Chains A and B, each alone.
Chain A
Amino acid sequence: GAGVSQTPSNKVTEKGKYVELRCDPISGHTALYWYRQSLGQGPEFLIYFQGTGAADDSGLPNDRFFAVRPEGSVSTLKIQRTERGDSAVYLCASSLGQGTYNEQFFGPGTRLTVL
Chain B
Amino acid sequence: KQEVTQIPAALSVPEGENLVLNCSFTDSAIYNLQWFRQDPGKGLTSLLLIQSSQREQTSGRLNASLDKSSGRSTLYIAASQPGDSATYLCSQTGTASKLTFGTGTRLQVTL
B-binding residues in A (CB < 8 A): 31, 33, 35, 40-45, 48, 55-56, 58-59, 91, 93, 98-109, 111
Instruction: For residue B75, give the distance in angstroms from its CB to the closest CB of chain A.
Output: 15
Contacts of A48 in B (CB 8 A): 96-98
Whole-angstrom CA separation of A19 from B87 in the bound complex? 29
Instruction: For residue A101, give the distance in angstroms from its CB to the closest CB of chain B.
Output: 6
A-binding residues in B (CB < 8 A): 4, 31-32, 34, 36, 41-46, 49, 51, 89, 91, 93-104
The answer to whether residues A55 and B97 also contact, given A42-B4, A42-B103, A107-B43 and a CB cut-off of 8 A, is yes
Contact A43 B101 (CB under 8 A): yes
Q: List 23 A-B contacts (CB under 8 A).
A: A31-B97, A33-B97, A33-B98, A33-B99, A42-B91, A42-B102, A42-B104, A43-B99, A48-B96, A91-B44, A93-B44, A100-B93, A100-B95, A100-B96, A101-B93, A102-B97, A103-B34, A103-B49, A104-B46, A104-B99, A108-B42, A109-B43, A111-B41
